[in-house]
Chain A
Amino acid sequence: MSGPTLLDSLFQRSLEDLIKGLRLYVGDESTFISKSLDEIRREIKSTDPQTKSIALQKLTYLHSIHGVDMSWASFHAIELSSSHSLNFKRVAYLAASLSFDPSTTDVILLLTNQLRKDLQSPNSHEVSLALNALYFIATPDLARDLTPEVFILLNSNKGSTRKKAIALILRLFELYPDAVRVCFKRLVENLENSDPGIVSAVVGVFCELARNEAKSYLPLAPEFYKILVESRNNWLLIKVLKIFLELAPLEPRLGKRLVEPICDHLKRTGAKSLAFECVRTIVTSFSEYEFAVRLAVEKIKEFLNDDDPNLKYLGLQALTIVAPKHLWAVMENKDFVIRSLSDADANIKLEALQLVLAMVSEDNVMDICKVLINYALKSDPEFCNEILGCILLACSRNVYEIIVDFDWYVSLLGEMTRIPHCQKGEEIENQLVDIGMRVKDARPQLVRVGRDLLIDPALFGNPFVHRILSAAAWVSGEYVRFSKNPSELVEALLQPRTSLLPSSIKAVYIQSAFKVLTFYVHHYISTKGVISSASQGVEDLMHGRVQENPQFVRTGPVADSDTDDGGLNPMMLHRPVRDVSVESFEDMSVAHEWIYAFHVLLCFFSLPREWRLLLLKLAFSSSESHYKTPGPT
């Protein structure tokens, strides 16, 4: 590439030209940008600082606004920073601060001396530039080398320089911990300064530091207390309150002394920001002082009743913090919270939802869930799923602590499945199976709900809900003895529509169908009375009324040549079934178990070939079962 010529410098396009060109360009921006980049690459190598500066400006613009990579130009930025003109220095430092990556740009070290010179400069603008750039490009080495200069600036005569040095010192502390030893004393001295801006800057730094390690700053509490009581500057007070939010839990005596001033500020101030910060501090760290909390809740009520949605949102947030320890505050504002569930603002809706769930307890869980489901039906899909997620979470907390009536809860789960926007398939599936395994008494209801879900054809349309169908199938198979009409179950499990489901769920369906069938066969055998007649019964099955079951042939793409295997006698399925009690199964002796196993094998061979192959594949491929096998019932 040829070097920059005189004509290039003379007719270099300025930054304004570049911006204008981009705005006017018709077509794909990237061609214009790459053309400009070629120009810039030539121009930036120029020795004339004016040309270099303009090229660097253009490049910085392209990097910042259009995401163009400029890491190749780092050295040029550093070269330009040594210029004596303030403007060129500004351009160079801006380029550095926007594009240098402290962890990878090697040439940063080359800037050390230049930065040192600029930090010591009598011109406060140069100092400001250096301080600003140092924040963005500081590495541990740079921090170590330049801490002495910044330390000197902490006592600078010019207020704005001091403030900037103070703001920077935080970053230096992060990168070079030894800087703390050097600079801490001066930092604390600045707390006594008469300029509220400087004190704000220092308190801001301590606020950040206290969030990470509050204990070390406890000794400074008296200074902060003085500021809290004397200052009238809102920014300063807000920051001091944030520090006390961290410190108060560590020292109970502190709390006693602080509550009064904070309440005073809350009562006196007209600034909403300060009022909110007072409220937040009280409800977070001073919640044991009843009178303070009462005052705070008054203020929250004011916020909630304001027209400004920002205040409403912040009020609800504060209420969420209060909720765990002072539920009465939430109850007082119950109506507002419930109304907010249908607010236009998504933030407010979410906060209201959290609050409603904070209010839930054993007594009111049913009413609250009913109200919430109503809201869910009326809302957009996203909020609807938020509601469902929150209900599921709250009800299953601590292993279903608040649920007294599991029958009701199981039917609620079924109802949730039917909501058109429901996407909580996995969670509901887990809970259905979980309850089935843990709660014996709920199993009949569970089977009822499962049957309703299996029969419902609409559910096949919602892909998120398929997992729930698999849980319903499993539950129906596992607890079939509670079912009033197992034949219905088998029909539902084997209906043609099941081919829409993914294979893993079809597998559960097949297994469950299996379980129902074996239940039937065993029941048939046991109603015949005697174990010895079992073999007779089996022979009947094999030679007797074995007919083709058209239902099976329809279910899969099976070759017709398989029909001579026959299906299970459909008439047997419709024989009225005596509800077999749990006990008769549990009394199974060893002989019974052999018969049981034989029946299973028989059913297996009576299935169409496709299903047999699928079952064998499943049995031998993965060893992980779809659900954990339950313990002894």
Chain B
Amino acid sequence: MIKGVILMNDKGKPRLVKFYDYHPAEKQQELIRRLYGVLSSRAEDVSNFVKVDSLFGPDTRLVYKTYATLHILFIFDSSENELAMLDLMQVFVEAMDKCFSNVRELDIVFNFNKVHAILDEIILGGQVLETSSSEVVKAVEEISKYSPNPLCFFSLLFFTHQVSQDAISYFLFRMERAANSLMAVPSITGWQGR
């Protein structure tokens, strides 16, 4: 079975953490730190597999791939084929790519719920459900269509078009001003300076 899926950036900050065995929050953070240690000691152009018996128990290994600034790790035991796990990782990345159109690390940072939804269509309880990225995308789009969430809608707009970002933020800014300028709510225009 698959024991965990982790996305972390090249500084070791976790972006998505899903363990299929229960670990308390502190243990999870410690595991992430140690995994980052393992990854940083790997050279370039070497194999993508690492034995992690000391962290997760006997016969466990992890496969990792680096896409730009993001490391993707799948931790699994001997009931999964190593090369098949690499393929599955590819499926996951392709699905995210199609859902976010050319996914970048920032998309994953700001779409916590959606990324979990994508992952839950591929793996349930450590077992592989779906190996075709197009099917996964279809399922996720159905979910988003079923109950459109205004917040979701806005966040989608924010991160795809620079122009609509400006328009919406200006619009919301006006709304906020009108409501009650006494409340110390962080103004969205402040974000543009980033």
Contacts and interface: CB of A to CB of B under 8 A. Distances in A.
Nearest to B125: A135
B136 to A, nearest CB: 10
A208 interface: yes
Interface in A35-67: 54, 57, 60-61, 63-67
Given A21-B186, A201-B129, A167 B47 contact: no
**Of residues B45, B78, B120, which shows the largest number of chain A Cβ atoms within 10 Å of its Cβ?**
B120
Contact of A344 (B18, B43, B84): B43
Contact of B25 (A63, A85, A103, A171): A63
A166 B121 CA distance: 14
A345 B22 contact: no
B82 A90 contact: no
A347 B48 CA distance: 10
A211 B86 CA distance: 22
Interface stretch (A270-278, A455-463, A494-502, A612-620): A270-278
A79 B101 CA distance: 35
A16 B49 contact: no
A16 B149 CA distance: 14
A344 B124 contact: no
Contacts of A85: 147
A5 to B, nearest CB: 11
Contacts of A327: none
Interface size, B (range) = 35 or more
B83 A132 contact: no
Contacts of A64: 14, 17, 112
Interface in B13-64: 13-15, 17-18, 20, 22, 24-26, 28-29, 42-43, 45-51
Nearest to A128: B120
Interface string B131-147: 10000000100110011
Given A235-B128, A238-B81, A272-B83, A347 B185 contact: no
Interface string B161-194: 0000000000000000001100101100011001
A132 B81 contact: no
Given A10-B179, A65-B17, A313 B49 contact: yes
A273 B83 contact: yes
Nearest to B78: A211
Given A67-B26, A85-B147, A170 B130 contact: no
A131 B84 contact: no
Nearest to B48: A310
A57 B111 CA distance: 11
Given A68-B25, A170-B125, A87 B79 contact: no
Contacts of B24: 101
Contact of B83 (A86, A168, A310): A310
Contacts of A277: 81
Nearest to A308: B47
Contact of A136 (B22, B83, B128, B139): B22
28 contacts: A11-B180, A14-B151, A16-B110, A20-B186, A61-B112, A64-B17, A65-B13, A67-B28, A86-B146, A87-B149, A91-B113, A125-B142, A135-B124, A136-B22, A160-B129, A168-B124, A168-B125, A170-B127, A200-B131, A201-B127, A204-B128, A211-B79, A234-B84, A235-B131, A273-B83, A310-B83, A347-B46, A347-B51
Interface of B: 1, 13-15, 17-18, 20, 22, 24-26, 28-29, 42-43, 45-51, 78-79, 81-84, 86-87, 109-110, 112-113, 116-117, 120-121, 124-125, 127-131, 139, 142-143, 146-147, 149, 151, 155, 158, 179-180, 183, 185-186, 190-191, 194
